[in-house]
């Protein structure tokens, strides 16, 4: 077969011939092809050649197979399993970490649940509020019912010290 015929698509007759040889033609198509086959010595010759190629392929595959690779592997598996079991018995694995790890996880879970279920304790320090009073910022902290701390923050460039006012009315 030349290189120019390799790139060409097979014609319909060749496709039907291969389908007939493989038993892929249905009733009507098979009847039509057999009728054409009876009339064409060229198709008969090509079918005989195709049958010969199929016979060669079957002969090649019908030879008695040599020793199977899987059989040799299967014979080695018990020995490999025994060696693996010996190595495992010699050195301890990480199985001893299972119980301490489980206990540590349970303790962490218990602490988290306890913190989640415990009501929040109110803070003894009051809330700091910021008041916008024009050019000066004012921060107010009500530390206790009878104590209020007021910070007056001056404009930038001038230092100002925090002032503590003990006034229950503010």
The mean pLDDT of 12-35, rounded to a whole number, is 87
Tell me which of 165 and 134 has the higher pLDDT: 134
Of 8-17, 68-77, 109-118, 160-169, least confident by mean pLDDT is: 160-169
- Band of residue 1 on the pLDDT scale cut at 50, 70, 90: very low
- The number of CA neighbours under 13 Å toward the Cβ of 52 is 6
Q: Where are the domains of the chain?
A: 1-90, 128-165
Q: Write the pLDDT tens digit of every residue in 4-18.
A: 555 578 788 888 888
Q: Write the pLDDT tens digit of every residue in 120-133.
A: 776 666 667 777 76
Calculated CA dihedral for residues 35, 38, 40, 42, nearest 10 degrees: 120
The mean pLDDT of 106-123, rounded to a whole number, is 86
Q: Write the pLDDT tens digit of every residue in 50-105.
A: 989 888 888 777 666 666 777 777 777 788 777 777 776 666 666 777 888 889 99
Q: Which two tokens stand for residue 23?
A: 């038993």
Burial class (CB in 10 A: 0-12, 13-18, 19+), 142: middle
Tell me which of 98 and 143 has the higher pLDDT: 98
């Amino acid at each position: 077969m030349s290189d120019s015929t390799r790139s060409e698509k097979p014609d319909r007759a060749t496709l039907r011939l291969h389908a007939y040889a493989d038993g892929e033609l249905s009733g009507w198509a098979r009847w039509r092809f057999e009728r054409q086959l009876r009339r064409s010595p060229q198709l008969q010759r090509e079918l005989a050649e195709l049958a010969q190629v199929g016979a060669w392929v079957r002969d090649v595959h019908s030879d008695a197979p040599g020793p199977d690779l899987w059989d040799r592997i299967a014979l080695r598996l018990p020995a490999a399993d025994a060696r693996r079991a010996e190595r495992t018995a010699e050195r301890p694995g990480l199985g001893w970490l299972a119980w301490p790890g489980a206990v540590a996880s349970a303790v962490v879970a218990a602490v988290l649940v306890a913190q989640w279920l415990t009501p929040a304790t109110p803070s003894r320090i009051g809330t700091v509020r910021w008041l916008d009073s024009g050019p000066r910022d004012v921060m107010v902290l009500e530390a206790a019912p009878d104590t209020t701390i007021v910070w007056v923050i001056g404009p930038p460039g001038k230092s100002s010290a925090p002032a503590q006012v003990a006034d229950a009315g503010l």
